[in-house]
Structures are given as C-alpha cells and as structure tokens.
Chain A
C-alpha cells in the first residue's frame, strides 16, 4: 500500500504529509533540526534544554504539516506560527506542572516570554528563516568563487556602493559590477533551490 515508487519524485514535505514513517521522520529532522537549533540559540534558550525543545518543535512541525499548503501561503509564515506556538505551549506546560503555583511569576528560564511579545516572535522566526536560508546559500556557493568576488558581494549586501567596493578591493569599478553579478546570480539560484527543497 505504500507509494514508495512514485514518492521519489515528490518533495520531502509532500511525502511527509502522506506518509509518516520513520525514514521520512529522520530525513525531516536532518533537514530542519539545524534551523531549530539556530533559532533556539538566537533566543538564548539554555543549551541544556535545547535538545528537548527542538525535538518538540520538530515533532509539532511534522504533525502539523497538513495545515501547510505551499500554494496557499508562505512556508516561513507557517513555520513562524508553528514554532512559536510550540515554544509557548512548552513553557506553559512546564508552568502548569509546577507545584508552587503561587510563584509562577518568578519561575522558569522563560527567556522568550521575558524578552519578546508573542506577535513579534512570529516575525522574528520568519526573518531568521530568511537569513538562515541566505547563509546556507552563501556557504554553498563559497567554493565556486574567488575571495575577491565573495567579498565584493558581501560588501554590496552591507550596502556599500560600487565605487567604495572598488577602492576597498583595489579593482576596477567595472569588475566590481561583474563580480557582484556573478555571485548574485549563483546565490539566487542557490536560494531558489533551497526554497524548492525545504519549503515545497
């Protein structure tokens, strides 16, 4: 009854929606765990509870995949909502389990709730996802370019204009434009294929 044969042509998310076996779960964890850790690090969740919380988040993502439809909404928006909800319910559960209810306010390494509004958090996760995909793409294209080309691209990302980049790198202004364009094209291509494999 399994659809193994035609599964291969589908994306991970599509397959995970249809069939929740262990192989797919593991593949899913490999794909998204690094980002979840990144997010937990970003929010300074203590190292010791990261493993547990990341498992929770991944499991929740996996189970709520059916609520995600790439043709109807953006993956990052969905991701923001799911991650945020899981993290909040995680902390709420811990509070509930507490036997010293009176002290709720003083308790818990509730870094998230201390520092951030709920709605803000969704946007933050969404933005972190974009930045994270960007940094993955940058890592992937790195071996294909000279240090100067990468540097030119990096500086242009930081908002530096071609004149200044040219003088920083001691190259001609026209070559700056060319270097930037080459890296940018490859970069966009890479982001696009990451989106294709992680969000569809």
Chain B
C-alpha cells in the first residue's frame, strides 16, 4: 500500500465517521454505552433497606446504568423456591400495566446470590394508610382526588384483564408531589379472556396464584370482599370494587368498615355487617355514604358493575349532583341544585329585591359612575404600560445600534489595515519565498537575504506598508523585539498580535540584546503556539544560529517539543559531546510540522520540517516511545537512529534521511523482506 493511497483512505474514513456522527445517536451506538450495560444485578449500587414484607425485602438503590435512584424488591433467600415463579410473575404482571397511577417496573433478574429481584420506580413519600392514621386531618377533597386516581388505575387494570385482589390503603403510595401509585400486584390475577395477551412463562394454575406471598391468607382482612373468604367464592372485578368501597369508607371515617379480631372481621365481612359511614362520622355527606354502601354491598350484583360507574358517581358528587347510588328525593335534588348554583340563586334574589326597591335607579347610577372611573383608571394603567414598553424598546434600539457601531468600527479598522497590494508579484513572491520557504531550510541566510532585498525595495517604494510590516516580522523572528516594534507601529499593520506583544515587551524591558534569555523566548513560544507554529519553528532555527551555548538552545527545542506533544511527560537527554539525543516516555509522536498541508505544495520544501533539525544531531535514540511516523524527522541530518520498540512499522520514508548510516531496530519489529529493501548505505543493528 503506498503512502498516498493510505492517506486518501484515511481522509475518506474520517469523513465517513464524521458523517456517521452527524446522524443522531442511535440506541446502543454511543461511546460507553455497551460498557455500562452490564446484565444483572451489578448495575445497582448503594442498596439501602427501606421495607420488608413476609417474603420480600425492598431496597432503595442507585442504578448506575440509567443514573437514577430506584427501588428493588428482592425475594428473601429463605423463601421456598416455588415462590420464585410467583415473584417474577408479579414483576411481569406489573410491567404489563402501563398507567401513571400504577407503579412502573423496570427490570427483573437474579441477584448475585441467585435470588430473584425486580426493580421499580422509587416512590418517596408515604402510604395512604399512614396518611389516614396521621392525626392531621387532610381535607376531604384531597382524599377524593387520591381516591379517583386509585380507582382510575384499577379501572385501567380491569380494561387489561387484570384484577388486583389486595387493594388497601397500605398498597397505595403517595409521593411528595401528590403522585399516587397503586403497588403490590403480587396477588393480581389475569382474567381468562385477556390471558393470551400476557405472555407468562408459567401456567395460570390456581394453587400457585392463590398462594400468598406474605405467607398468610390471600388478601387483607377488612378490605377483602366476602367472595375472597368463601371457599367457593368467585373472585373478579367486583372484588376490587368492594375493596375500593372499603378504602373510600376508611378515608372518610378514619377506620376500616370491618373491625375486630381476625375471625370477627371474617364473620362480619361474610354477614355484610358494618356501621354506616354517617354513624361513624356524621359530618360525611349522605352522597358519599351512599356511594361506599353500594360498593360494599354483600352480593356482587348489588355493587357497581364497573369501576367507571363508581368514579362517575364520585365526580357527580363533587360537582354537586346527587350520585346515582343515593337515589335522591326531589327535595334533596333541590337542595343540591341551590348549593350548586349558589351564586346564581343569590343573584336572582338580589335582582328582584332591587327591582322592587326605589333605590334601584340610584344604585345603577352609582354603578355607572363607578365603572366610568374604573374605565379611565384602566386606560391610565394601559398608557403607563405602553409608555414603559416604548421606553424599553428605545433602550433596546440604542444598545443594538451601539453594538452595530462597534462591529462597523472593528470592520473599518480591519479594512484600513488592508494594505495596498500594489507590489509587483515578483517582489511579493521573492519576499514570501525567503521568509516562508527558504527560512525553514537555511534560516539565517534566508532572513538576511530578505532584509537586504526588502531594504532595497523600501528605498524604491517607500509607500508600501507591506514591506515595513515584513521587516517587522523578520526582526521578530530574529528576536529583536525593539526593532520589530519600531517597524510594526510605523504603518497600520495586520500583524496586530505581534505588534501588541512587542509593545508590552518594550514597556517591560528598556533595552534587550540578542539572543534573548531562554525564559523570554519560552514565553513567546507559549504565547504564539499554535497560531504561529511555523514562525516559531523558524525562530527556533534562527536561535540555533545566534545562541552559542548549544545546551541552552536544546532547552528551547525541548520547549517546542512539549508544545507539539501536550501529553508527553518523558525525558529529553541531550549530550553535547557526542551530539546525541535520547527521548523517552509515552505520548511522544510529533517531532516536526508539515508547513504545507497536502493540498497546495510550495515547491522546494520537504513534507515535514523537524524541531530537532537545529541541533544537528549525529545520533537520535527514540527507542520505546510511541513514535510512529518517520516523515516527522524531515530535514534532520542524523547518522544513527534507534527506533527499536517504537510503533514504527513502515520503513518507506527512511530513504529520505540522506545521511543515515546506522539504524537500530528491535528483533522481529520488521519482516526480513522489509529490511532487505533498506538502502545499502544503512547498516542494521538489532536491539534486544
């Protein structure tokens, strides 16, 4: 594969990946996504026990995959194994129901101890039971809000063919923001007609489903319908309706309808004997009494036939109508009518009173006057508002035009700097050839030539600011910042960054001599990298020519390398005696720059120029670094090179190192075929 074709393929691949990234992320494709999905229990962290039932424990936990806090139900390890299926079934059944007032199950599986678990939405807050038990009495309308939400959830479940069979205040969770969730669907049952929609792994056999997870009688005494206690009882939607009635009753009275010992509760439930709601709490309206009585009817056929009917009755009551259950008399309807339309009835009474009274005209007059005053007040207020907004608009306009002015000003400044380009092309070409091309190869000579040339041109064409600017640029490369400043301020220059830097430099330093102290050059490098990466390299090359202490100069080479390789933190060991350099450590892969990127080559430059060139090294040891691209050595004149244990895999570019005579590679780093292609002049050394 040739270098050109691999470069082409690389550009193509990068473009393709870019276009892929332009598309919105699909699930599972983004980085870290797969890493994070770890099947099983390990994704949950910081488990904290928050509740415990007969056979399961509830934990609060942090889900590291989705980054949210959730609840996890885990079957106790001591639970008999035949409960496993029933437990998983509860999770699947709940997950099957998708309703805002039914708890959401996220995930099921097995813990590291092989106990089944399911994770679900965490509801912080308290149960309806503790809300009822707490001494502060919540207002009735709040209870009715909650009740309607519970009933809506049950109604939805019924529509999906699922019955709960254990509805009670304990199983209703109230979140801190009033969200209501019906939970614990462990006893839930699928009604036959819908079973096909629900893909359960186990047969719907009744011995299992009637097994209570709490290890007691299925359902909770006090809220269970009579048919759930009877041996032959037919459980169904009507059983949930009974429980809803019992919940309503408890909310309104503070106590469950059936009370006493376990046996007493069973007996009373079967007899249908409980104290009417109004006996326990006389303040409760007759309508609510009627609604709960109908839901709590002993015989299923006497109850509401659907949960929707029950909800409708509650809503009728709330909007002031008589619920169907109440079978209200005419008088009761009239009372309700008046209370529903309090304002309307009052108005009628008032108006008739006014008609009959003599003060009517006076009143109306007064009203009129009043309203006129109100009107003018309104107009006044409106005007004020309009005035204010007009004022605001004016201010907006002003600040907008100020900004526009600033931009126009900036642009004018820039275009004033746009020097005239009336220099003949040949002059321009010569100037740029010396400072931008030749300067990389024979720096001192190129800059000196350019100076002589430009000074001559300046005498001929003193009006060309471009020449003055270029003189300033060259002085800058030669480290004479005072001189650079004197040129750069003379004409309006485009190299404002250089001018400003020189300006603050001469304010700080009254005079300076070349070469500048290391620390100052290093400051220049850091200030202008990477914007003027090429100019800095020329500056580095020039430094080698004027700084007689080569050890000091090597410090600058090191600074430049560090800028090229920001993550490199290895050693730079230069030995003046042997003219050898050893580089080590990870993160080192750039040794030079490519002054002309691929597209438009300026003639005469190698594809890369190296930061090491100015050291005139004899030998370079890169062993065990991450270096991989021989082109980076560009114009170095080394004779000995050690690339053993680097990532160099291609030797094609080695020919371009014209003075190389000794190459050290690791055993097995290159195939024999590759090594055979090496030029004759290069002697091969094998490192261990």
Q: A47-B534, A63-B407 are in contact. Are A195 and B21 (CB under 8 A)?
A: yes
Chain A residue nearest in CB terms to B496: A51
Which residues of chain A are within 8 angstroms of B425 by Cβ–Cβ distance? 106-109
Interface residues contributed by chain B, number (CB under 8 Å): 74
A21 CA to B424 CA, complexed, in Å? 41
Which residues of chain B are within 8 angstroms of A63 by Cβ–Cβ distance? 407
A98 CA to B403 CA, complexed, in Å? 32
Is A179 in contact with chain B by the CB < 8 A criterion?
no
Shortest C-beta distance, B186 to chain A (Å), equals 41
Is B114 in contact with chain A by the CB < 8 A criterion?
no
Shortest C-beta distance, A73 to chain B (Å), equals 12
Contact status B599-A100, CB under 8 Å: no
Chain B residue nearest in CB terms to A106: B425
Shortest C-beta distance, B464 to chain A (Å), equals 11
Shortest C-beta distance, A143 to chain B (Å), equals 6
Which residues of chain B are within 8 angstroms of A56 by Cβ–Cβ distance? 414
Q: A1-B396, A158-B10 are in contact. Are A115 and B422 (CB under 8 A)?
A: no
Contact status A99-B626, CB under 8 Å: no
Is A151 in contact with chain B by the CB < 8 A criterion?
yes
Shortest C-beta distance, B467 to chain A (Å), equals 11
Is A95 in contact with chain B by the CB < 8 A criterion?
yes
Which residues of chain B are within 8 angstroms of A74 by Cβ–Cβ distance? 22
Which residues of chain B are within 8 angstroms of A109 by Cβ–Cβ distance? 421, 425, 428-429, 432
Shortest C-beta distance, B411 to chain A (Å), equals 6
Contact status B17-A98, CB under 8 Å: no
In this complex, the member of A21, A38, A157, A190 whose beta carbon has the largest number of chain B beta carbons within 10 angstroms is A157
Which B residues from 528 to 549 make CB contacts under 8 A with A?
530-532, 534-535
Binds A, one of B28-36, B90-98, B252-260: B28-36
Partner of A168 from B406, B469, B649 at Cβ < 8 Å: B649
Write the A60-84 contact mask toward B (1 if CB under 8 angstroms, else 0).
0001000000000010000000000
Is B7 in contact with chain A by the CB < 8 A criterion?
yes
Which A residues from 127 to 177 make CB contacts under 8 A with B?
127, 130-131, 133-135, 142-143, 147-148, 151, 154-160, 168-170
**Majority secondary structure, B binding face:** helix
Contact status B21-A192, CB under 8 Å: yes
A109 CA to B431 CA, complexed, in Å? 10
Contact status A127-B21, CB under 8 Å: no
Contact status A134-B14, CB under 8 Å: yes
Contact status A1-B407, CB under 8 Å: no
Q: A52-B417, A59-B410 are in contact. Are A191 and B21 (CB under 8 A)?
A: yes
Contact status B1-A159, CB under 8 Å: yes
Chain B residue nearest in CB terms to A74: B22
Write the A26-44 contact mask toward B (1 if CB under 8 angstroms, else 0).
0000000110011001111
Is A48 in contact with chain B by the CB < 8 A criterion?
yes
A130 CA to B586 CA, complexed, in Å? 28
Is B25 in contact with chain A by the CB < 8 A criterion?
yes
Chain B residue nearest in CB terms to A60: B411
Chain B residue nearest in CB terms to A144: B31
Contact status A131-B14, CB under 8 Å: yes
Write the B454-494 contact mask toward A (1 if CB under 8 angstroms, else 0).
00000000000000011001000000000000000000001
Which residues of chain B are within 8 angstroms of A185 by Cβ–Cβ distance? 29-34
Is B283 in contact with chain A by the CB < 8 A criterion?
no
Shortest C-beta distance, A104 to chain B (Å), equals 10
Which residues of chain B are within 8 angstroms of A119 by Cβ–Cβ distance? none
Contact status B414-A59, CB under 8 Å: yes
Shortest C-beta distance, B590 to chain A (Å), equals 11
A7 CA to B104 CA, complexed, in Å? 35
Partner of A195 from B22, B534, B602 at Cβ < 8 Å: B22
Q: A42-B600, A44-B596 are in contact. Are A134 and B422 (CB under 8 A)?
A: no
Contact status B422-A107, CB under 8 Å: yes
Contact status B668-A170, CB under 8 Å: yes
Q: A134-B17, A159-B5 are in contact. Are A189 and B410 (CB under 8 A)?
A: no
Contact status B20-A188, CB under 8 Å: yes
Is A12 in contact with chain B by the CB < 8 A criterion?
no
Which residues of chain B are within 8 angstroms of A4 by Cβ–Cβ distance? none
A23 CA to B289 CA, complexed, in Å? 68
Contact status B567-A160, CB under 8 Å: no
Shortest C-beta distance, A36 to chain B (Å), equals 10
In this complex, the member of B18, B395, B410, B495 whose beta carbon has the largest number of chain A beta carbons within 10 angstroms is B18
Contact status B494-A48, CB under 8 Å: yes
Chain B residue nearest in CB terms to A107: B425
Contact status A51-B17, CB under 8 Å: no
Which residues of chain A are within 8 angstroms of B417 by Cβ–Cβ distance? 52
Contact status A189-B30, CB under 8 Å: yes
Which residues of chain A are within 8 angstroms of B20 by Cβ–Cβ distance? 188
Shortest C-beta distance, A107 to chain B (Å), equals 6
Partner of A157 from B14, B31, B436, B470 at Cβ < 8 Å: B14
Shortest C-beta distance, B457 to chain A (Å), equals 15
Which residues of chain B are within 8 angstroms of A111 by Cβ–Cβ distance? 600
Partner of B415 from A93, A148, A169 at Cβ < 8 Å: A93
Which residues of chain A are within 8 angstroms of B25 by Cβ–Cβ distance? 192
Which residues of chain B are within 8 angstroms of A49 by Cβ–Cβ distance? 494
Which residues of chain B are within 8 angstroms of A157 by Cβ–Cβ distance? 9-10, 13-14
Is B647 in contact with chain A by the CB < 8 A criterion?
yes
Is A186 in contact with chain B by the CB < 8 A criterion?
yes
Is B597 in contact with chain A by the CB < 8 A criterion?
yes
Q: A20-B407, A48-B495 are in contact. Are A159 and B396 (CB under 8 A)?
A: no
Partner of B600 from A22, A43, A55, A159 at Cβ < 8 Å: A43
Is B497 in contact with chain A by the CB < 8 A criterion?
yes
Which residues of chain A are within 8 angstroms of B415 by Cβ–Cβ distance? 93
Is B232 in contact with chain A by the CB < 8 A criterion?
no
Q: A46-B432, A48-B469, A107-B424 are in contact. Are A191 and B18 (CB under 8 A)?
A: yes
Is A17 in contact with chain B by the CB < 8 A criterion?
no
Chain B residue nearest in CB terms to A124: B599
A122 CA to B399 CA, complexed, in Å? 36
Which residues of chain B are within 8 angstroms of A148 by Cβ–Cβ distance? 647
Contact status A1-B395, CB under 8 Å: yes
Contact status B599-A107, CB under 8 Å: no
Shortest C-beta distance, A184 to chain B (Å), equals 7
Which residues of chain B are within 8 angstroms of A184 by Cβ–Cβ distance? 17
Which residues of chain A are within 8 angstroms of B436 by Cβ–Cβ distance? 46-47
Contact status A20-B597, CB under 8 Å: no
Is A88 in contact with chain B by the CB < 8 A criterion?
no
Partner of A1 from B392, B411, B496, B626 at Cβ < 8 Å: B392
Contact status B17-A158, CB under 8 Å: no
A124 CA to B20 CA, complexed, in Å? 19
Is B110 in contact with chain A by the CB < 8 A criterion?
no
Write the B403-447 contact mask toward A (1 if CB under 8 angstroms, else 0).
100110011001101101111110011001001100000000000
Which B residues from 606 to 660 make CB contacts under 8 A with A?
626, 628, 647, 649
Is B15 in contact with chain A by the CB < 8 A criterion?
yes
Partner of A97 from B30, B420, B423, B534 at Cβ < 8 Å: B420
A52 CA to B494 CA, complexed, in Å? 5
Between A and B, 26 residue pairs with Cβ closer than 8 Å are A42-B598, A48-B469, A48-B473, A51-B496, A56-B414, A94-B418, A97-B418, A98-B421, A109-B421, A115-B600, A130-B14, A131-B15, A142-B587, A143-B567, A143-B587, A148-B647, A158-B6, A158-B10, A159-B13, A169-B649, A184-B17, A186-B31, A191-B21, A192-B25, A195-B21, A195-B22
Question: What is the interface of chain B, defined by CB distance below 8 A to chain A?
Answer: 1, 5-7, 9-11, 13-15, 17-22, 25, 29-34, 392, 395-396, 399, 403, 406-407, 410-411, 414-415, 417-418, 420-425, 428-429, 432, 435-436, 469-470, 473, 494-497, 530-532, 534-535, 567, 586-587, 595-600, 602, 626, 628, 647, 649, 668
By Cβ-Cβ distance, the 10 closest A-B pairs, closest first, are A189-B31, A52-B494, A159-B9, A191-B21, A158-B6, A134-B14, A94-B421, A42-B597, A192-B21, A157-B13
Known contacts A99-B420, A185-B34; 13 further A-B pairs (Cβ under 8 A): A20-B403, A22-B406, A41-B597, A46-B432, A93-B418, A108-B425, A142-B587, A154-B628, A157-B9, A158-B6, A185-B30, A188-B30, A191-B17
